Structure 1
Amino acid sequence: MRAIAISPAEHAGVQDLIDAMHQLRARIFRGRLDWDVVVRQGREVDEFDSFRPTYILAVTSAREVVGCARLLPATGPTMMSKLFPDLEADDLLRPHAAMVESSRFCVDTSLEAGRAGGSLHDITLTMFAAIIEWSIAQGYGEIVTGTDVRFERILKRAGWPMARIGEPRCLGNTMAVAGLLSANGSSFERVRPPHYRSLFQRLTQAA
């Protein structure tokens, strides 16, 4: 298993992986977490998938998608501006050219390979490392995200703590929180699992 980055220009060539990603999102967000998301034909897709994002995917040797995240420039349009519009209005969030938004992060931690007793799953750590590696390569130093308080604790356990923006709030049946994450070499080294392979290898080497 390793992580890959799929740029907007590459979407058409890997539709099987992108479709598998939307199915994973449906299984995790609706099936496991019971989030208030729209699922059609077993797939979770929203309006921000139409804004040419980069996707970070964790892919097994059998081309199973077991982790995903969506990255868009924080200057917009973004999910943050939809779910947390007051943060910009109150000057708590100041999007800039070196900030990227991460959204729709999820992993399938039921995969036995990579599970170490008492620690975070390798898929989770691989996804964290890949997001940081890609962000640094693209000139982003900050990552803004909205998540739930449970996942905020996972970030802290991984050594990648999130700096909260504003107070937690209820979004549907989720206690959500917005925050900033650093994208730099020290963050990358803290979260990188031992067998991590660089994101910037050919997609055909994903196995």
Structure 2
Amino acid sequence: MRILVVSPDLYERHRSLLTQMHRLRALIFGSRLSWDVEIAAAEERDEYDAVGPTYILAVDATDRVAGCARLLPALGPTMLERTFPTLLATGALAAHMGMVESSRFCVDTSLEAGRGGGQLHQATLTMFAGIIEWSMTNGYSEIVTATDLRFERILKRAGWPMRRLGEPAAIGNTTAVAGILPADRTSFERVLPAGYRSTLAPENDIRGAA
């Protein structure tokens, strides 16, 4: 399984993978989690897909998208501050140049490849490592996100605990919480799965540290 970064200049080149991504989001958020999301033509999209985000994709050996996340600079429009400000203790995000927002994270854990006894799915750890690696490579030291309590526990299991920015609150049919995750080498090495590959760094650079 490898990490692929799709920045706005690469949208057209990777159109088929982005279509898979939007369909995976519809499957996970719409069908499995029953979140209140907009789905059209079996694809989930929202207003933040229209402002030039960078997408992180976990792609398997058959070019199937197994996981995805959307990254936007925290100084720009973010889902957390515009859509879920109630999750912030102060109602506002203290954004800075070194902070990026991760949203629409999801993984298809039904895939047999990547399952391990008692371990987190390889696609989940691959996504964690890819987000951290991309953030470090692009000068970000903090990742801010809104998630649910179940996923907060997964982050803790992976050795990448989140620092809360407010108290949990009911949003739709889930209990959500906002927090900050560190983007540093220590966190990267903790979540790094065996066989990790990405398009971000030369061989034996960041990945060779683990």
TM-score range, shorter chain: over 0.9
Per the normalisation by structure 1, the TM-score is 0.93
Post-superposition offset of 1:81: 1.3
Q: For 1:37 and 1:54, how far apart are their aligned partners in 2?
A: 20
Q: For 2:33 and 2:17, how far apart are their aligned partners in 1?
A: 22
Q: 1:39-188 maps to which residues of 2 (within 5 A)? A: 39-86=39-86, 90=90, 93-188=93-188
CA RMSD of aligned residues (A): 1.6
Post-superposition offset of 1:28: 0.4
Q: For 1:25 and 1:184, how far apart are their aligned partners in 2?
A: 27
Amino acid at match of 2:176: A
Deviation per residue, 1:5-28 (Å, 9 max, x gap):
111111111110111100000000
Identity %: 60
Secondary structure in 2 matching 1:12: coil
Runs of 5+ in structure 1 lacking a partner? Answer: 203-207
Native 8 Å contact 2:81 2:92 kept in 1: no
Amino acid at match of 1:5: V
Aligned residues: 202
Amino acid at match of 2:146: G
Secondary structure in 1 matching 2:177: strand
Out of 180-189 and 83-92, give the one that drifted further. Answer: 83-92
Post-superposition offset of 1:200: 1.8
Native 8 Å contact 1:87 1:93 kept in 2: no
Q: For 1:91 and 1:115, how far apart are their aligned partners in 2?
A: 39
Out of 57-66 and 94-103, give the one that drifted further. Answer: 57-66
Deviation per residue, 1:10-61 (Å, 9 max, x gap):
1111110111100000000111111111111111000000010000001122
Native 8 Å contact 1:156 1:162 kept in 2: yes
Q: Segments of 4+ in structure 1 off by > 4 A? A: 86-89
Per the normalisation by structure 2, the TM-score is 0.92
Secondary structure in 2 matching 1:166: coil
Secondary structure in 2 matching 1:167: coil
Post-superposition offset of 1:184: 0.1
Deviation per residue, 1:61-111 (Å, 9 max, x gap):
221111000000001201011233256682763100100000000000111
Q: For 1:87 and 1:43, how far apart are their aligned partners in 2?
A: 27
Q: For 2:183 and 2:27, how far apart are their aligned partners in 1?
A: 29
